[in-house]
Structures are given as structure tokens and as C-alpha cells.
Structure 1
Amino acid sequence: MISLECDNLFGTWRDQARWLLSHQVDPSQVSWGEVQAADLFATDELIPEGLGPFQTRVPKALLDLLESAACYHGDQRWSLLYEVLWRVSHGDRTAMLAGDKLGSELQRRIKQVSREAHHLHAFVRFIALPAQAGPELPEYVAWHEPAHDILKSASQHFVGRMGRHRWMIATPLDGVYYDGEQLIHQRECPEAWRQLAQNVEDPHSEMWLTYYSHIFNPARLNPKVMEGHLPSRFWKNLPEGKLIPGLISEARMGKQKDGQAKLIGTKPGKRIVNPINVGGSLLPMAVYQPSDV
């Protein structure tokens, strides 16, 4: 068994896979893992240097798929990619397709990575730092906890939307900082970035909570659908997140029926006269708003 460590870098894995493939090393004989695990399964065989005699060409589309799937956090993260590469390099391109068992898992991981990138775009909440913070600090900061390694690629989304403002996104794993001209990615998020993103206070938080609580419609609540679009693991890092459990509870306790009526009943109303047809003639009908009752 050959055990390798690529430090979760696709470029490093690609070089390792190229070497393995050139020496015709079967996927069952290779394992990728942490350094500690690699030591447990290290081979006693002499590993030759340089590329081996086997040469092959693989479609660029496959490399793009493998690079996307490489962002997925899960079991056999890198071994699965090599197994797909092995099969395609030996003429079996069905390994790239969803109809194949291996290809289906590959496509599932790519879909999960894409969805996690969408979550970053949808649920990041930038908070403005005070103007007197200084030019050495970003103008906007955000804290996010993605399930997969999508920050470096997915954060490009904000470059064209934030203009030349300086901003930063910190995660438990890595971080990005845009200085107004270039996007800087740190594979290990600096502790100063983490502290800044997690401890900054939003001066507009109360306004946001008021807005969210007023647009929430208990009559249209479907918790299962909401969880599909807004997973609960993100609630703790959203300003409105602390409101959601209470709003759901109120809706389940009957507010779906009378929540809006109660609010409307406290507003001043006016009398409206509408004609009704009785026996072929139009008669006025007084309609009263709740405050008239």
C-alpha cells in the first residue's frame, strides 16, 4: 500500500496522480490521508523517482470535474478522484457520468460543492467597521462556516460587487482579504482575522431584526422547505438567526391563522361603502375595518 499526503491541494494531488498513473499503480494500492495516517500505512517498497513508461491523455473536462470535486470534504476525498482518473485513462469514460456508480458519487460531490458556493453568496453578512478603524483594516468583514473548501473560488463572486472597498471573509479553516485590487487567500485563517470577524458589532442589527420579523409571514411557513433553502447550521451566524426558532414556534402555536389579523387589528381603519346587488337593484353596503368593530 502506498500512502500519500497532498495537504488538501489539488495541484499536489494532480502531480501525485500523474506519477502513480505513469507507473500503473492500481487505485486499490493507494491511500491518501493525514500525515499521521500516512505513517501507519507507509509502504516498505522502494518508490522509483520520475515518471513511469505509461502515457495517456485525459479530456480537459475530466480535470475540471476532478478539480471541482476536490473541494468536497468527506471520506475517500482524494482516492475517489484517482479511481475516476484511472478508469477514464484506461478508456472507460462512463466513470465521469451520473449513470455510473462511481460517476454518480463524483457528480453528487460536485453538486454539493456548487450548492455550498451558493450558500456562501446567499448567507454571508458583511458588517461595516467604523470609519476610524484605519486603512490597514478592511471596511467590511464577515464570518462564515462552509462545509467544503469553496471560499477561495466562490469569494470571487464579491470582487465585482463590492467595488474597490476592502473586505474580508474569515472561516474556521481559511480566509480571504480583498484590498481593493487583488484577492488574497490564506489557507490557514490568521487568528486576528477570526477574532475581528467574530467579535465585530453591527450597529444596524436592531433595524435588520425589525425588518425580518415584519416580513416573516407565519401563514406561509413551511419549515421543511425553509430548511432546504436555509439550513439551520447557518442560523447562528445570521443576524436574523436568533429570531427563526421563536417565529417557527409561534406559527406552530396558531399564529399561522391569526398572526397578521392581530397586527392589522391594532391599526386605525376607515369605513368603505361598496354597492351590492339585491333584487336587481344596487344598495350600499358598509364594510368595516377591524378598528370599527
Structure 2
Amino acid sequence: MDKLKRWVPIFVLTPSIIASFVYVFVFCGWTLYISLSDSTLLPTYGFKGLQAYADLWANRRWGVAYSNLFFFSVFYVTIAMAVGLMLALLIDQKVRAESFWRTMFLYPLAVSFIVTGTVWQWLYNPTSGIEFFVHQLGWTDFHFALTTDRKNAIWAIIITGIWQSSGFAMALFLAGLRSVDGDIIKAAQIDGASTFRTYRKVILPSITPIFLAVAVVLLQFAIKTFDLAVALTNSGPGISTTFPATYVYDLMFQRGEIAEGAAASIMILVALAVVLIPYSIYLVWRQKRGVGRG
């Protein structure tokens, strides 16, 4: 019986571990090799070196895609975290119907990005959305056609992404706020600290790891942005809202440039690694530091 209890977890976990290994490492290795090959419409295995990477970085559209990714990531992550923190602080004040507010702010996360993008695309549409509604009220000079403006179309994606993800940030921040030791808060209040000063000097510094975790998760969302860009603007107008993920799709399935598409996929993987590896190292260091102090 003891042997059975010992082997059951192994039998249960082994298929998932094997599948994860194949899905992550084997396919990543295969994609890396294809990016070094002479593949075009179909995969071939003739070695061509770094030519696909050189072609990729020489392409103006890839430069636009990476610039958009950086611009989107900065504003999307920063504002989503700020909005999420503000909502968490408000709910933490023991508001009435707290469960209702938490559910309402978290609800957008339950909706897929493609559905969110489709609904907001309608809202941005000048012939049927917000602009049309305001015109019907008599303000005919009002303009809100973000998705048709080459310079401002990316803001449509940023605003929609913030609406989708700020509730997620709120949930993590709220959990962090509720996890702070109540004795520390009471001690600050006894010392005469105001509510604002208590949050700024005691509570928020205590949840610094939550800030980092939220930032890392949102950065992952940003790097893999595909659905919102396709549903809202279809990478347009022109190429103004092209993202690395949408460009990979275009190379793979529209142009038949598999080697260059694989190279673009590897570059996205590198961007994810730049975010995740330092964070993993930080978690290990923090855990060892905690064990050492313990």
C-alpha cells in the first residue's frame, strides 16, 4: 500500500511532465533549427545560418513591430498597475458590496482578448460607436476614431488592454494588502500616522514583491499581444500597429517565409526570457535569503 501511494503521484505527473518537455523544449529546439534553415513555404533542413535573422532585422516592418511592443509595454504595464492599485486601495477601505465590486472589476479578465477586441472595435468605429453616439447628441465636432488614425491607433490597443488587465492587477494588489500583518498597521496608527502615511510608509513597501509579480505577468501579456491587435486594427492602418506576434503570423501563414517567421518567434522567446529569467533568479535569491534568515 505504501508503494502504491508513492508511485501514484509519479504515474499521474509523468505524462504532464513529458508533454510539457516536448511542448516547450523540443518544439523550441525545432523552431530554432528551422530559423537557421533555408525553409520557405514548407520546412526544409538545409542549413543557412543567421540569414533569416539578418533579413528579419533588415525589414522595416519588424522594426516597427518591436518599437510598438516597447511603446505598448511601457504604457500598458504602468497604467494597468496604477489603475489596479488604485482600485485595490479603494476596495481595501471596507466599501459596501465589496464582493460585487471585486467581481465587476475582475469580469473583463474572464472575457477572451479576441472578444474584448471585437467589442471595443465596435466602440471605436466612427460610424457606429462612441463618435456616432456623441454626434447623435448634437456634438458633431467630436472625434474618437482612434483605430483609423495611423498615429493614435496604438492607443486604442493600449486603452483596451488596460481595461482588460487592470482588474487582474487589482486582485493581486488587494490580496497583498490584505496579507500585511495587522499588528504593524496598528502600531503605525498608535504612533499617529495618517492613513495616507500608513499606506505609503508601511503597507505598500511590504508588498513590493507583489508589484514585481504583477509587472512580470503584464509584461508577458504585452510581449504575446496578438488577439487585441488583430481584432481592433488588424495591424493597421498600414503597418502602424504591427506587433511581433502578428508579424510572425503574417510571415508563417500569409507570406510563406517559415525560416524568417521562426526567427521572429525565437526573438519573441528571447524577449520573454529577458523578463522571466531575472524574475526567476530573484525568486530563488529571495527564497534562499528567507531560509538563511530563518
TM-score range, shorter chain: under 0.3
- Higher normalized strand content (fraction of residues): 1
**RCO higher in structure (CA 8 A, sep ≥6):** 2
Q: Which entry has the higher C-alpha Rg, 1 or 2?
A: 1
Compare the two structures and name the one with the higher helix fraction. 2
